[in-house]
Structures are given as C-alpha cells and as structure tokens.
Amino acid sequence: MTDANGTPDFSDIHSILQQHSSLINGFSQLQPVIMKLFTCERVTIYQRRRQQQDLVAKFKSGAHTVKIEVAISPQSIAGYVALSKQSLLIPNPQDADALRLIHPRLCFVEQYDQFVTRNILCVPIVHADVLLGVFQLINKQEGGFTESDVTLAQMVAEELGKHCCYELGGTLRPWDDLLHRDLLSTKVLNEIYTESRYKNNPLLICQKLISEHRLAESDLGTSLSLHYQVPFIPYNPDQYHIYHNEHMLNISYLKHNLIVILADAQDKPTILMADPSNANMIMEVEQALNLVQPEIAVGLPQHILQYLGENNIASSPGDMDEILDEISTSNDEDDEQVDELSDDAPAIVRLVSRILHDAKRLDASDIHIDPEKNGPTRVRMRVDGVCRDLNNLPASHHNAVIARIKIMANLNIAEKRIPQDGKLAFKLSGQLVEVRVATIPTVAGEGVVMRILATAGAMPLSKMNIVPSNLQMLQQMIVKPHGILLVVGPTGSGKTTTLHAILGHLNTPDKKIWTAEDPVEITQPGLQQVQIAPKINFTFATALRAFLRADPDIILIGEMRDKETAHAGIEASLTGHLVLSTLHTNSAPETITRLLDLGLDPVNFSDACVGILAQRLIRTLCPECKEPYTASATEHAFIERQYGDEYLYELDLADNVTLYRAQGCDACGDSGYKGRTGVHELLSMTPALRALIYRKASAHELAEQARSDGMRTLIQDALRKLLKGDTDIKQIQILGGLD
C-alpha cells in the first residue's frame, strides 16, 4: 500500500485525539484508521481505571457499548503487558507453552465469539513512567506483526498515553500536584527534582517537605496518589498488619527498596511502595510471595520503614555509602562520564573491591550490576538463593565501574557490543576468592554478572549434612567400578556441590576422572575438567564420546538434557565406567519414569543405575539466635503425619519435642536464618525395584517399593533435620508446599 491509496499516517491519529475529550468518544473514528495503518483486524484500547488495578476497554458494537475488563496480572496478555510495562509480540497465542515461557501463569482466552486470534501485538500505554493502559492489535493480515509494527505501535501508545493522563488528571512528576495546589513554589520543586542529593532519596525529599515546608503528610500522599494512579496508605497499624508471608522476603531488601506487604482485616494483601511505577519490583514480590492480584498502593518512605519496624528513621551510613558520597561530591558540578583513568579512579577501585568484599562477607553466590536507562545503576546480590538490592551507583560512574571489573578480569575494555567471559581473583583475609565474570551488552549499557566460585574447591562428603544411613549407602554406591549415579533436583538445589563432594571423595592419584560441565564452577586438582560449548556444537554428548576414547575411570556429565546424552551416559556406564550426572526431576522415583519416557531401555537402565539422589536446599536457622521451644500439639501431629506412622519409630519422638525457631540478630541481618543445608532422598537399586522397572511400573509404585527398601523422602529427611535443630517448621512447610 502507498500513500497515494490513502494510507493513513500517524498525524491522523494525533488529530482525531485532539478533537475528542475522551478516548471512548474518539474510538469509533480512531478504530478504522488504526486498523488500516497496521492492516489488522481488531484494535482494543484498554484504559486504567482511576486508582484501580484493572483495565477497561469500551467500544460500540452495533447498538450497544461492549465493555471488557482485565485485571493487571500475569493471567492475560493485556494484563501481563500492563504489569510488566513491556511490549509483547505474540505470533501464535494458541501456543500455550510459548506463553508459559514468558510468565508461568500467562495464558490466552479468546475474548470474542466466533473469532480466531492468530497473532497479537500488545504494547503498554505509559506516560511519565506511570502505566495508564494497554494498546492491543490483533490479526495482522499478511505474515504477522513485525518489529517495525512494534515501534509504530509504541509511538501510537505514547500519543494515547498523553490523552489518558489528561483524562485521569494525572501529573507529569510525583510532586507536581503540590505546585498545582500552590503548596510549593516552582523554585523549591525544581530544587527537589534536580539536586543530586535528592535523587533516588525519596525519604530525604519527604523529610524536607514536612520539616522545612510544613506540608502535611496527607498532602504529600495526595500528590503521589494522583501521579501514580494508586491509592495512598498512611501509617495506620490499627487498620493494617504485615502480610503473613512477608517473612519470605529479606527485611533489608524491603527496607532498601521501600516496600512492605500489608494486609487488611480480611487478610487481603496490598503491596505498599514508595515508587509504584516500578513494575519489575511488583512482579518480583508477586512471584516471591505467590500473590494473585494484590492491591498496589503508594506510601511515604518513613511510613513504610515504620511498618517494617524501624522507629528511629535516619540514614545509616555504611562504608559503601561513604564511598558513594565521596564519588558524588567529587563530581558535583558536571554530569559528564568519568573514565577509569580520571582522578576518581582510586574511589572507583575501592568501590569495586567494596562490592566484592561485601558479596563474599554476605556469602552471596552472584553479583549483578545492571545499567538502567535514565537511572542509577542497580547492584544486586543473590544470598541463599534470594536476590537483594544492595546499592545504587550514580549512572555517571557506571562505565568506570564496569571498566574496572573488566580490567581485573583481563577483558577487552573497548569492546562493549559483544558479551565477554573471564575470571578475576581477590584476597579476603588471606584467602583467595575466585570470581567468574560475564559482561552483557544491553540497550541501557553494559551489564556485568559475577559468580563467586566456591573457594576451597570441593566440600568433603562428610560435611554435607547427609544423615549417617544415607551417607553409608552413598559411599557403597560410588565405590562400584561401573554404573551410573544420578543427582537430581531443580536449578539451585546444590547438585554441583554434591557431585564435586563425591568426586573429591573418589579423587585419588590412581583414578582418571574427566568432567564435562556447563559451567565449570568448582575446580579440583587431579580432575580433567572440560567446559562444554553448545553454540559451537560441543555438547555433553560429544564431550562424552571424546572422553571414552581417553578411557577414564570416572566420568561426570553435567546434565542429561536429552535422549542422546542419556543414552550415551548409560552406554558408558555399561562399558566399565562410573558415570555421574544430574537431571531436573523432582524426586528419585520420578527420575526413573522420566528416563524411560525418554526412550531408554528399562533393562539397560536398571542394570546400569546404582542409585539416585534427589536433593533440595532448605534455609538453616542462625546458630547465634535460634530459640528453642516445645512443639505444640499441632506441630507434633504435623511431624507424625508427615513422617508416616509406619516409620515413626525411627524418630523416637518424645512427648515434649524441642524445636527451634527463627529470632534474628546482628549475625544474621535480623532474618533469623543463616546459610542453607541439603535434604536428601536416596534411592538404591534393589532386585524388587529392578523387577518393577522391567515392567515399566508407575512412579507411585516405584516410590512405594523404594520406601520399603529403605528410601526416606525429602520431607522425611527434612523432618530429621528439623528435629536436629538445623531448621524450623516453616522451612519444612515451604519445602513441601504444606500448611
């Protein structure tokens, strides 16, 4: 189509919007123009309802007005786009698996009768960072939507955003309403928006507005509420209490991000935050606590901290803050980019080593340094599997920090467009700490992910907190000259640590051990360790074939991802090698059915398999502050029920069982927990079990047999660790998804 044929353009949309005071009035004119512009069959414009967590689309169909309501939640395409504030191009909405990859709860429901949706383009309508609606196009006529359609749709959405903002009476910036109501002068307002000490410090802004300008908290709340289009909730402990699941989030994470999860008398959760436009944070919290459509509200930073139990509100300067202060004052006049060779360099060097030392001290596994478009750089660390926001770095220093890390890791500083991998090492109290560094170019700039490698190489098998009966069984399995041992569990369940502990146990000078890993996280002297690279077709299966030519005694295959690898692993174990590998399955018996489903021969497999160890990590109580108490009757009954009557005698339960609970102290950052420990389910191959595998019995039958052969389940093992005082009953409930 050409312009000569009357193809509408962007300016037509602009002029139609100008003529109408509300979108609904202009929609009948807008609709054909947009449909022609994108050559698509349907257009829907969802608008956010004032101060609600939902969207409404209205349009005339024949004589009546049709209304579609959608919650801002991951359960629909428009709802997910609204929640994440990210555009989605969906080539085939009927492909449920592809949707689940975007978000586990995302699904598609046809909204119109007798209509088949073939493709969808959905973009958020955002103005001044605040979500105001969703613009959705359906069924591009030829070939589906393209990236240029996405760009054009985003331009249209921007135009719609201005209109929606006007309709809702929204403001451009959080404090603008104070100016509109004459409560504040333009001069003061500009100072707040531009001065660097106020940037990313909403607490300081609020304190200034209240103490210096005598503004009421409710006035601040109204202004924020108008801007973010969500209700304002002040500090009111009589009406709200802390949501019961909040303990699953780290308190310092909540304080740092100025966020608290409240519940009203009906226990309906509300996420109260200082910046409700932070879609990522909302999604992170929703996912962590498994919240379904919580309310979102805006709160003053001091109120949020009060809910979180902080009574004496003053910023506590730590080492990191001091360094950041020094950096920001030394570079106050201009916002120019600082390069790594400038006078600032020593501060940058100290800043990077501060980050590394903090990470090691907190026992973090990863450090993420993420650039943000138009904002400060985020520094996050994963501790005990939970990601925490640590500090923000001024955007002007982002490049210098990244460059410093790249220098330490021997990477090319000039190359910023392609990802690079490297390693760096630093000393902490005389101990060498190794860090794997990966750079990632993003549209906002270059980011870095650092993984702190286990310092001491492999952990001794005896320190793995494996109960004596399991440890003895495991040791018998791994001294066999051939066979296959599988360690199974989801990502982050500590499989690699366990495998290396086993290898460490077996690693004697007379044994030839080869490993294929992705990535190589733990190194051990005496092992031949190979990093696989699927991109250049060096896969687990090809590595395994290469290994067999070198005739090792023991082979570790990082993961049996596919049939080919699984087959090759079994073959190798049947030809005189001890093979260790992992699988992403939930339980030991389920692993067997999974492998048979992959097409493995049941006879070969059951001959080869020496054992399957399923495992998980659970949080352990802080030894400094854990508090003993006598289990209640309910807890006593819970333990009995979960362990099972049949085996209860093994626990030797007294009438008064002593359990421990989390309390919180300085040593554990007030969380009550420190570190994690493994819980294990070890299945050994017995003649009875082999017979069941031959006839492809169900996972349930296999589990029954394994239990009567002596296997104890993950929950049973976790209960043993509960009674040892390693953990509390809450962690058992989380592990089992039990209440």
Residues of this chain that bind Zn ion (CB under 5 A): 622, 624-625, 665, 667-668
Indicate the residue among 458 and 668 with the shorter CB distance to Zn ion.
668
Indicate the residue among 421 and 624 with the shorter CB distance to Zn ion.
624
Shortest Cβ 248–Zn ion spacing (Å): 17
Shortest Cβ 709–Zn ion spacing (Å): 40
Cα gap 87→534, rounded to integer Å: 30
Among candidate residues 240, 322, 223, 239, the one with its CA nearest the CA of residue 274: 223
Among candidate residues 323, 448, 443, 301, the one with its CA nearest the CA of residue 394: 323
Indicate the residue among 183 and 622 with the shorter CB distance to Zn ion.
622
Half-sphere exposure of 438 (CA within 13 A, CB side): 10
Tokens coding 137: 């196009």
Indicate the residue among 37 and 668 with the shorter CB distance to Zn ion.
668
Residue nearest to Zn ion according to CB distances in the complex:
622
Sequence-separated contacts (24+) of 68-73 with Cβ below 8 Å: 68/44, 68/111, 70/46, 70/134, 71/293, 72/48, 72/131, 72/293, 73/105, 73/292, 73/293
Cα gap 191→183, rounded to integer Å: 15
Shortest Cβ 357–Zn ion spacing (Å): 21
Measured at the CA of 386, the angle between CA 383 and CA 391, to 5 degrees, comes to 70
β-bridge mates for residue 295, sequence order: 270
Shortest Cβ 725–Zn ion spacing (Å): 14
Among candidate residues 504, 699, 715, 475, the one with its CA nearest the CA of residue 585: 699
Indicate the residue among 46 and 660 with the shorter CB distance to Zn ion.
660
Q: Helix or strand or coil: residue 192?
A: helix
Shortest Cβ 668–Zn ion spacing (Å): 3
> Residue 141: exposed, middle, or buried by beta-carbon count in 10 A (0-12, 13-18, 19+)?
exposed
Q: Token match 């020496």: residue?
A: 610
Indicate the residue among 609 and 659 with the shorter CB distance to Zn ion.
659
Indicate the residue among 585 and 671 with the shorter CB distance to Zn ion.
671
Indicate the residue among 423 and 661 with the shorter CB distance to Zn ion.
661
Shortest Cβ 718–Zn ion spacing (Å): 21
Indicate the residue among 93 and 672 with the shorter CB distance to Zn ion.
672
Cα gap 63→74, rounded to integer Å: 33
Shortest Cβ 311–Zn ion spacing (Å): 20
Shortest Cβ 671–Zn ion spacing (Å): 7
Q: Where are the alpha helices (DSSP H) in 169-308?
A: 176-180, 186-194, 202-211, 217-228, 251-257, 279-289, 301-307
Asked if omega into 104 is within 30° of 0 (cis), the reply is no
Contacts of 4 (CB under 8 A, 6+ apart): none
Shortest Cβ 675–Zn ion spacing (Å): 11
Contacts of 257 (CB under 8 A, 6+ apart): 273, 278, 281, 389
